[in-house]
Amino acid sequence: MYSLYLKRFPWPEPCRVPVLGANNAALLPGGKLGVGNSDFKELAASRFSLVDKSMLIAELCDVGDKVTLVLRPRRFGKMTNLSMLRLFFERIDGESKHEHELRRALFGGMKIAKERPDVMMNEFGKYPVVFLSLKDVTGKTWNDMSRLMRTTISQIYNEHTYLREHLNINEKAKFDHIVNEDSSQSFEFALRELMVFLARYHQQKCIVLIDEYDAPISSVYHNGYYEDAMHFLRPMLSSLLKFFGKGRV
């Protein structure tokens, strides 16, 4: 019996073309399985077998909703899909033309490129993106969770340090407090402020992708510090939704 982790498939190296379709998904066979790997870029670039769900990109563009909630069972590829959306939409500061084209080429054999070249032309690499994973933002106490939340938000700010030189004095001070995880500062509205900075710098709408948004809520419910946590989580998430509602995403 062949190990999915260690050995290649017993058949020859397949062509990188869709062989199985179901609605808007298709299988792109590769030489190996990316078991436990949710990084779309790595899966596509290293020729892992991959379910092509790239038409999700076109669907989101066509629907045009300001906020979209995607509900699927565990192990259904939600994280991989978010990774794909980020790779497609993100405008990367300092990215060279060569790097940009290499990134675009990862979608070259997929349905989005073949069936919706208009989306590839008009939407690829267009938007600043904030990617927030709350998967590991849990804890037995509110102090534990708040520390992890500060670290998570700080890491997101560190992905966009190029913004700092374009901020005014007060904004730079706030930016530095977040990067340094200053516990005396309020973090509830830090992501909303980052979106303002991004939209202003790029002169373009901002996309926020949130993975496992309910993980902290589940943790606080089971560990008995619901009220403390919701004083933070409610304004943080609400401020993002209100930001979207004003048409500034």
Q: What is the pTM of this model?
A: 0.81
Tens digits of residue pLDDT in 119-139: 999 999 999 999 999 988 999
Is 92 within a domain? yes
Nearest to 145 by CA among 187, 94, 111: 187
CA–CA separation, 79 and 210 (whole Å) = 10
Is 223 within a domain? yes
Average pLDDT estimate for 70-94: 85
The verdict on 116 and 158 lying in the same domain is: no
pLDDT for 240 equals 81
Q: Please tell me the total count of domains within the chain.
A: 2
The verdict on 134 and 111 lying in the same domain is: no
The verdict on 174 and 106 lying in the same domain is: no
pLDDT for 19 equals 42
> Of the given ranges (74-83, 101-110, 164-173), which has the lowest mean pLDDT?
74-83
The verdict on 156 and 233 lying in the same domain is: yes
Range(s) of the domain holding residue 115: 21-65+80-123
Residues 120-127: contacts with CB under 8 Å, at least 24 apart:
123/57, 123/61, 123/88, 123/89, 124/88, 124/89, 125/88, 125/89, 125/90, 125/91, 125/92, 125/95, 125/100, 126/89, 126/91, 126/204, 127/89, 127/90, 127/91, 127/202, 127/204, 127/205, 127/206, 127/207
Tens digits of residue pLDDT in 3-49: 333 334 443 444 444 444 445 566 565 555 555 567 788 877 767 66
Tens digits of residue pLDDT in 192-241: 999 999 999 999 989 999 988 888 888 888 888 888 888 899 899 888 87
Tokens for 228, please give them: 């403390």
